[in-house]
Amino acid sequence: MARRSVLFSPGDQPALMRKAPGSGADAVVFDLEDAVVPDRRPVARDAIHEVLTDAEFDPECSVWVRVNPPGTVADADVANALADASPVDAVMLPKVSDVAGVERVVGLLDEYGVDAPVVALIESAAGVLHAEDIAATPRVDAVAIGAEDLAADIGATRTDDGVEALHAREQVVLAAAAAGVDALDTIHVDVDDTDGLESAAEFTVQLGFDGKLAIHPAQVPVINNAFTPSEERVDWARRVLDARDEADAEGRGVFRVDDEMIDAPLIAQAEQVLDRARAAEQR
C-alpha cells in the first residue's frame, strides 16, 4: 500500500472531507485534533461519522481519522465518530509519548469494535526516546514525526533546513525500519512554497521515509512525485535485478551494471525502487 502523501482534512468541514480523496493523496486524514477548535469537536465527530456511513462516499484512497491524544477526549472521538461507522483504514494517534498511550487507545478501539491499525504520531522528546518501543507495539503499522510540536516541546527554533529535528526524524526512521512499519515525515507548513516543499520531500526520500504529511491539496502532487521513482531509476533497478539473476546462475556474488560494482546493499535498493514503483502504479 502506497503512503507517499497523507493529507489532513478538517473534521468539521464535510465538503472538504468528501473532496479530499480527489486530491490524489494516497491517504486522507479526517482530523479531530489540531484542525478543529475544541468547541467544534462534537460537530466534527458527527460530521465524520456521517461521511463514513454515507453509502455514496466511495473514496479511491485510504481514509484515516486522527483522534485526540490519549488521556484527553479520545474516548468521545472513538465513541461518536468511529463506533458503528464504516471501517476506516487507520486511526492516527497524536502526541504519542509511550507504549501505554497507544495501548489505551487500542483498548478503546476494541471496546467499540473499530478494527483498524494505528498510526502513531511522535511529537515530543519522550516520544522520540520511546520511538523504538512505540513502533513495535501491536496494531501500530506506521509512525510519523511531528516536527512543529517537537520543536515547541524541546524549545528549539524551527529552521528552513530543519536541522533541529534531523536527529528525531532519523530516530523515527530507524524505529520504523526495525519494527517493519512505515515512517512518515513531518508537514511543510508554507503551502505556497512549492520549491521548498519539493526540496524537502526529496530530502525526506533520502532519509528513508516512506511518505510525507500534507496540509493542503496543492502539496500532494509534489510529494507524490518525490516518492515515485523516475523511469530512469526504475530502469536501473530492473537492470540490476536482471544482472543479479544472471550472476546467481553463474555463481557470482558481485557483478557490474553501468560501470558500477553491485553487491547486496545495492540489490536491496533496487528491490525497494521497484516496490515503490509498483505501489505508486496500484494507487
Domain boundaries, the chain: 5-227, 231-282
- Give pTM, 2 decimals: 0.90
Closest by CA to 215, choosing from 234, 238, 187, 235, is 187
What 3-state DSSP class applies to 122?
A: strand
Position with higher pLDDT, 200 vs 265: 200
Separation CA 200–CA 60 (nearest Å):
27
Q: Grade residue 191 by pLDDT with cuts at 50, 70 and 90.
A: very high
pLDDT at res. 278: 81
Separation CA 240–CA 262 (nearest Å):
8
pLDDT at position 282 over 70:
no
**Per CATH, which fold does 5-227 belong to?**
TIM Barrel (3.20.20)
Strands 260-262 and 255-257: antiparallel
Amino acid at 172: V
Q: Grade residue 283 by pLDDT with cuts at 50, 70 and 90.
A: low
Spell out the alpha helix ranges (H) of 3-146.
14-19, 41-52, 74-77, 99-111, 125-129, 131-135
Structure confidence by residue, pLDDT tens digits, 136-174: 999 999 999 999 999 999 999 999 888 999 999 999 999
Rg of the chain over all Cα atoms, to the nearest angstrom = 20
- Residues linked to residue 92 through DSSP beta bridges, in sequence order: 66, 119
Separation CA 31–CA 14 (nearest Å):
11
